[in-house]
Structure 1
Amino acid sequence: MRLIENLKWRYATKKFNPSKNINEADLETLKEAIQLSVSSYGLQLYKVLVIKDHKLRKELKDASWNQAQITDSSHLFVFCNYTERCEKHIDNYIQATAKIQGSPLDKLSAYGDFIKGSLSQKTDSEWISWSEKQTYLALSNLLMACAELKIDACPMEGFESDKYNEILGLKRKGLNAAVIAPVGFRSEEDHTQFRKKVRKPMDILFELV
């Protein structure tokens, strides 16, 4: 199965080749893979910044424990969750569903009300936790698409979210940097690529009930 072989190939790249960049066609494929990600209720309550600008990434490197992947990679993907409860997102989703699927808007309004009612039951802390988790679903699609295209990536939580929010002006947009992923091409000097994967054995990881 090609998927399995691709997943065996990928690893969390520690050292990128700064001279190699992703071409525009592959970049669009990565973006489409993220766009097609699953999400709770289909809402996709996040925004993804794709940062190419080197000067900006140098600022972000300082807020990322000075990790070289931030600046040496081809692009930096920053997955941002929405921090504020806003029914507009749900209304927009229902309207888009009606338009794309050709369904009468009035028949979808009850589903919209159901989503609003369900999400309103979450406490503020539950909302933040839930919305941040949504970004990880999208991140997974990025990692699998990268593996398919033989593009390297490194999912990272090792950064200061508050500083990212300040540098990127996210707070005023109601956004929060939840998780990041530099993508590009591995350096031949990255010895991490030669390490064997360490994973739990199947009989320990899985239990048939």
Structure 2
Amino acid sequence: MSIIEKLNWRYATKKFDSSRQLSDNQINTLKEAFNLTALSYGLQTLKMVIVSNKEIRENLVSVAYGQRQVVDASHLLVLCIQSEIDAHDVEEHYQTIKSIRNTPDEILDPFKKQLKSTIESMPESKKLDWASKQAYIALGNLMTVCAVEEIDSCPMEGFIPEKLDKVLNLQEYGLRSVLLLPVGYRSKDDMFATLKKVRKPIANTILEL
């Protein structure tokens, strides 16, 4: 299938086949795709938690307002942001650039100084909002990769982050959950799989100047 055919093939899977599991290679592809997501300033202030344990996921059904996708899917991907973002993240990022590209300090330092100033002057609420928007970029990237790899997925905002964080003990890792993405294989009796995709005509959504 072409990329457009695969994007038409994908849908927000409402019912997963709980008997089917993604392979290690498929999960590794999703890990790599997440890590390669284009993010603001190149800072990777996101983490993806992969939950495969069914018992843990059963405890998340009520947190997700009864949506069984979180447990019936092969794996549950939890997109998280750091609870704190500061100059240390900038320093770590530029150290990584230096170690990979061997870029001299005299070239990196002006950019590093400017980014540190930007991050340090940003109110805490704005940092969290900014980081959350990065999580949506990662979500879109993962959903596209899932479509290309013919992995079913269901993007979810409908859950209680504070309760999910507590069940997964995310505070211990300095993380806050933002989005969920159950991944796996659609059930043969998911009626939504056969419904036609509903979109406006391209002429109504694209403006060419």
Aligned ranges 1:47-196 → 2 under 5 Å: 47-196=47-196
Rounded Cα–Cα distance in structure 2 between residues aligned with 1:106 and 1:171 = 37
Offset of 1:173 from its aligned partner? 2.6
Q: Which residue identity is paired with 1:41?
A: Y
Rounded Cα–Cα distance in structure 2 between residues aligned with 1:21 and 1:2 = 25
Instruction: State which drifts further: 10-19 or 26-35.
Output: 26-35
Rounded Cα–Cα distance in structure 1 between residues aligned with 2:152 and 2:126 = 33
Rounded Cα–Cα distance in structure 2 between residues aligned with 1:85 and 1:50 = 22
Offset of 1:119 from its aligned partner? 2.4
Which residues of structure 1 form unaligned runs of 5+? none
What is the DSSP-based 3-state SS (H/G/I as helix, E as strand, rest coil) of the residue aligned with 1:81? Answer: strand
Q: Which residue identity is paired with 2:49?
A: L
Contact 1:21 1:184 in 2 (8 A): yes
Structure 1 residues 27-66: Cα deviation after superposition (integer angstroms, max 9, x where no partner): 1011111111100001111110011011111111121111
Instruction: State which drifts further: 103-112 or 59-68.
Output: 103-112
Q: What is the aligned partner in structure 2 of residue 39 from structure 1?
A: 39
Offset of 1:157 from its aligned partner? 0.3
The reply on whether 1:17 has 2:12 as its aligned counterpart is no
Contact 2:87 2:119 in 1 (8 A): no
The alignment-based identity, stated in percent, is 37
Rounded Cα–Cα distance in structure 1 between residues aligned with 2:113 and 2:80 = 25
Rounded Cα–Cα distance in structure 2 between residues aligned with 1:5 and 1:36 = 24
Contact 2:87 2:120 in 1 (8 A): no
What is the DSSP-based 3-state SS (H/G/I as helix, E as strand, rest coil) of the residue aligned with 1:198? Answer: coil
What is the DSSP-based 3-state SS (H/G/I as helix, E as strand, rest coil) of the residue aligned with 2:61? Answer: helix
Rounded Cα–Cα distance in structure 2 between residues aligned with 1:110 and 1:175 = 30
Please give the TM-score of this superposition, normalised by the length of structure 1: 0.96
Which residues of structure 2 form unaligned runs of 5+? none
Contact 1:151 1:184 in 2 (8 A): yes
What is the DSSP-based 3-state SS (H/G/I as helix, E as strand, rest coil) of the residue aligned with 2:178? Answer: strand
What is the DSSP-based 3-state SS (H/G/I as helix, E as strand, rest coil) of the residue aligned with 2:60? Answer: helix
Offset of 1:13 from its aligned partner? 0.1
Contact 2:37 2:138 in 1 (8 A): yes
Offset of 1:2 from its aligned partner? 1.8
Please give the TM-score of this superposition, normalised by the length of structure 2: 0.96
Rounded Cα–Cα distance in structure 2 between residues aligned with 1:44 and 1:124 = 17
Offset of 1:16 from its aligned partner? 0.1
Contact 1:94 1:105 in 2 (8 A): no
Contact 2:45 2:85 in 1 (8 A): no
RMSD over aligned Cα atoms: 1.3
Q: Which residue identity is paired with 2:204?
A: I
Contact 1:95 1:105 in 2 (8 A): no
Contact 1:70 1:76 in 2 (8 A): yes
Contact 2:86 2:119 in 1 (8 A): no
Structure 1 residues 126-151: Cα deviation after superposition (integer angstroms, max 9, x where no partner): 11111111111111111111111111
